[in-house]
Structure 1
Amino acid sequence: MKDATNHIVNINLAEPAAEISREKSAELYTKAKTYFPGGVNSPVRAFKSVYGTPLFIQKGDGSHLWDADGNEFVDYCCSWGPLILGHNHPAVREKVIEVMQYGMSFGAPTALENELAELILSNNRFIEKIRFVSSGTEAVMSAIRLARGYTKRNKILKFEGCYHGHVDALLVKAGSGLVTFGETSSAGIPQSFADETVVVALNDKTAVAQAFEEFKDQIAAIIIEPIPANNGLLLQEPEFLQFLRDICTANGSLLIFDEVISGFRVGFEGAAGYYNIQPDIITYGKIIGGGLPVGAYGASAAIMSQISPDGAVYQAGTLSGNPVAMSAGIAQLSQLLQPGFYKQLHDKTEGFVNAVRSYIAEHNYPVKVFAIGSVFWFAFTEQEAIRRADEINPASMDNFKLMHRELLNRGIYLGPSGYEVGFVSSAHTAADLEKTQQAIFHSLSLIFDSQI
């Protein structure tokens, strides 16, 4: 809120917002726990990192969600990113309904696969051929196999703080050394799998160079989220990403960009286009299905020629190229190609983020808002940049937990973890963003001034 001199002034501090009703969601969660491990079908949904029981969502429309208790929220989770047009977008919905009238799965080629592939490839300088799969995890798993098959090498180098789905060889964490074999971060993964994965810290050229010295001619690929957004928003300097490109080229290894989140989110060409860096393989997900389950990986025609039935690297999927998912992707990506789409979305996000940053600066709160494109992340820190996972203070999540509860009670929905990023969609209105700003201002004031 600003005074006549255009300076942000103190808002009127209020008591914490009244708790929303969760009675029906709680009942559903109690029943769900009798069916599913932890009552959920994906762990973060269990709300273990925030207050209260999970909210069971009943419907979404535009930028808003409604839960089983009738609570309405402005949504910044956007199904963890793919709903760049918001919920239930008419163009996506109508295209899906049109296609569903003719059947929902054939296990055979359809023209829709060609149409979506042409839409992507004709507007993306960084890949020449693509293969559709059913999830981001499957895309990454396939890309790793392709890299190994193409290079005839076994080891993969990944970074602590980047998440690549629940692939066995990549569900690993760093050990205690500068360059280490991965240590399994999940039960059920043989150590022998993790031993083929080298883990180093983000933003550490020395560690990467040392890994190539220690495992000379053994590393098939480096895999990285070029915009790491699964463990905070750990924005990397372009020079580091270019260094990875150069060291892979020098050592005959492939560079894999995991763009399951950043692909089509920061621009139609994703992070590869944003930074103008050519990876060897790119994985996609989320957005290209318009909210339906989908994934893809792409590369040059030469690399993709190694995939069966052309080559010896086997990969298959009964639901790959599912016509319903393809139709949703066609409808959504067509919207993204409209002139000015990304600039308008970026400007909207930038205005929102800058308003929050101004309020934080005016009050000298130890909070930073990191953002790129239409992705943002709240970090309870005084650091000007966070580029590595070990630079995140776990204790700071206590403040996010308080903030999350206050925002929910004020009608704002963020993902239920302080390590997760938020997303602005084209459906968010000026009124939505103003309401959200005010809710954030109140929440931060309550956390830091009232010590709730």
Structure 2
Amino acid sequence: MSIFDTANKYIPGGVNSPVRAFKAVDLEPIFIEKANKSYLYDINGKEYIDYVCSWGPLILGHNNEEIKQNVIKACENGLSYGTATKLEVDMAQFICENITHIEKIRMVNSGTEAVMSAIRLARGYTGKDKVVKFDGCYHGHSDSMLIQAGSGLMTEGIPDSSGVTKSCTMDTISIPYNNLDILEEVFKKHSYNIACVILEPVAANMGVVLPNDAFLKGLRQLCDTYKSLLIFDEVITGFRLSFGGASEYFGITPDLVTYGKIIGAGMPVGAYGGKKEIMDMVAPNGAVYQAGTLSGNPIAMTAGLTQLKILKENESIYSNINNMSKYLFENLKYIIKRNNFDCTINYIGSLGSIFFTREKVFDYMSAKKSDTKKYAKYFKNMLDKGVYIAPAQFEAIFISNEHNKEIIDKTLNIIEDSIKNII
């Protein structure tokens, strides 16, 4: 019996998260035993260049020595206390002192929990009910965010998962990304009953889709006009796109921001933060309740704070990962043009995507025009040749500080061979 057979016997689908299942590429998942720098090693000893980086947070690569040693030292004191620690105060202070749009922050345990809590806070602060999100943006698996994309302009949310009642999603409105005109219509229809607009400022869960030049600025203006909160879901972009995330990169200030595992250097953690007057609505100061026994876990705080301090003290890391990303994606564009492949490249900073479509990808509907069957063949070819990318068309490629020119050159050769084999 294979390990996947055993996993299926005891775990639904054989995996603890659907993105690991490899169903979209019609394969069985690989099982990883260890990782180091830019490489993964499966239980059979096969080596892979890793471009998933634990779905983004491993900016410094796998098994960074300073993070590892600090975590080992922290473990010697205990793994979890269920009470306040200095470490969580140090983390909060560091973030608030270095991220200008965050005056107070609350630690949680995942990006999903951070988003769920931020939306509840937005409703509590504004006294309004409705939430606007964008088709193709993923904000975790809390009930109110599991709404069908493209469910129709200004209609009540239709649940996108069994087990979610319509009453949970009826106050969530999902509209096309990059479309200010429709957002303005939504605001006009619902007048002043929209508590918040939430989005990935750079979408990374329908593949990487960039905001157009006026989109984020227009969002900020509409939220100000209608006295709604603007929430940036920076689970992917926070501390990756720049130290100050998408807000710093684009020069747009959100009212609230959510983070995930990126502030834990890949360990289970999340957070939401923003303006003091909003955050003071959270219990025990205010009437918006949110709690968590494991929030601010000392091991996660140690790992995360170590990575954030390294990034702050060595901001040349951003230049390096961005340059390596540009080298990868610009050369990939050249390969596509030279071979007349039906592919489109979107990238920004150290994350990007290859879409198996010739058309420009600017929202969910254009992303869905990608040929997922070709992507599945491409994925298998890449995996066979020792390159691990996301096992689904609509995910991102991530560059870490351990990806150098030699590794990327090797990857580019494998990409060209892999695509040639499916055309």
TM-score (norm 1): 0.91
Letter matched to residue 23 of structure 2? K
Call closer, same or farther: CA 1:204–1:395 in 2, change over 3 Å.
Answer: closer
Letter matched to residue 332 of structure 2? V
- Partner residue, 2:335: 359
2:301 equivalent to 1:326: yes
- Partner residue, 2:121: 146
CA distance in 2, matches of 1:160, 1:352: 28
8 Å Cα contact 1:238/1:275 also seen in 2: no
2:357 equivalent to 1:381: yes
8 Å Cα contact 2:357/2:369 also seen in 1: no
Return the offset for 1:430: 2.1
CA distance in 2, matches of 1:112, 1:396: 47
Return the offset for 1:178: 2.5
Letter matched to residue 77 of structure 1? V
CA distance in 2, matches of 1:168, 1:104: 31
Letter matched to residue 370 of structure 1? N
Give the counterpart of 1:113 among 88, 113, 121: 88
8 Å Cα contact 1:131/1:296 also seen in 2: yes
Within 5 A, what are the aligned runs for 1:4-83? 27-83=2-58
Deviations 1:110-141 (A, max 9, x none): 11112222222222111111111000000000
CA distance in 1, matches of 2:176, 2:45: 44
Within 5 A, what are the aligned runs for 1:300-449? 300-337=275-312, 338-383=314-359, 385-394=360-369, 396-448=371-423
CA distance in 1, matches of 2:155, 2:49: 43
Give the counterpart of 2:73 among 94, 98, 101: 98
CA distance in 2, matches of 1:295, 1:79: 15
How many residue pairs align between the two structures?
422
Letter matched to residue 366 of structure 1? D
Q: What SS does the aligned partner of 1:437 have?
A: helix
Range moving further from structure 2, 322-331 or 166-175: 166-175
Give the counterpart of 2:198 among 217, 223, 226: 223
State, as a whole percentage, how many aligned pairs show the same letter: 44
Call closer, same or farther: CA 1:343–1:175 in 2, change over 3 Å.
Answer: closer
8 Å Cα contact 1:259/1:270 also seen in 2: yes
2:279 equivalent to 1:267: no
Letter matched to residue 406 of structure 1? N
Letter matched to residue 178 of structure 2? N
Deviations 1:242-293 (A, max 9, x none): 1111001000110000000110111111001111101110001121001110
Deviations 1:65-93 (A, max 9, x none): 01111111000011111111111110110
Letter matched to residue 256 of structure 2? I
Q: What SS does the aligned partner of 2:98 have?
A: coil
CA distance in 2, matches of 1:388, 1:55: 31
CA distance in 2, matches of 1:27, 1:369: 37
Q: RMSD value over aligned CA atoms?
A: 1.2
CA distance in 1, matches of 2:182, 2:163: 28
- Partner residue, 1:15: none
Q: What SS does the aligned partner of 1:54 have?
A: coil
Within 5 A, what are the aligned runs for 1:277-296? 277-296=252-271
Return the offset for 1:298: 0.6
Deviations 1:391-436 (A, max 9, x none): 1245611111111000011100011101111101001122211111
CA distance in 2, matches of 1:163, 1:306: 26
Letter matched to residue 379 of structure 1? F
Which runs of no fewer than 5 residues in structure 1 stay unpaired? 1-25
Q: What SS does the aligned partner of 1:256 have?
A: strand
CA distance in 2, matches of 1:172, 1:393: 17
Letter matched to residue 412 of structure 1? V
Letter matched to residue 234 of structure 2? E
Q: What SS does the aligned partner of 1:181 have?
A: coil
8 Å Cα contact 1:60/1:88 also seen in 2: yes
Return the offset for 1:164: 0.2
CA distance in 1, matches of 2:304, 2:276: 23
Deviations 1:218-250 (A, max 9, x none): 110001110110111111113111111100100
Letter matched to residue 13 of structure 2? G
Call closer, same or farther: CA 1:238–1:109 in 2, change over 3 Å.
Answer: farther
8 Å Cα contact 2:123/2:195 also seen in 1: yes
Deviations 1:18-76 (A, max 9, x none): xxxxxxxx811100111111111101211101142110000000100011111110000
8 Å Cα contact 1:368/1:380 also seen in 2: yes
Letter matched to residue 97 of structure 1? I
8 Å Cα contact 1:407/1:440 also seen in 2: yes
CA distance in 2, matches of 1:42, 1:118: 32
8 Å Cα contact 1:180/1:200 also seen in 2: no
Letter matched to residue 152 of structure 2? G
Return the offset for 1:177: 3.1
Range moving further from structure 2, 108-117 or 258-267: 108-117
8 Å Cα contact 1:175/1:181 also seen in 2: no
Return the offset for 1:175: 5.2
Call closer, same or farther: CA 1:49–1:90 in 2, change over 3 Å.
Answer: same
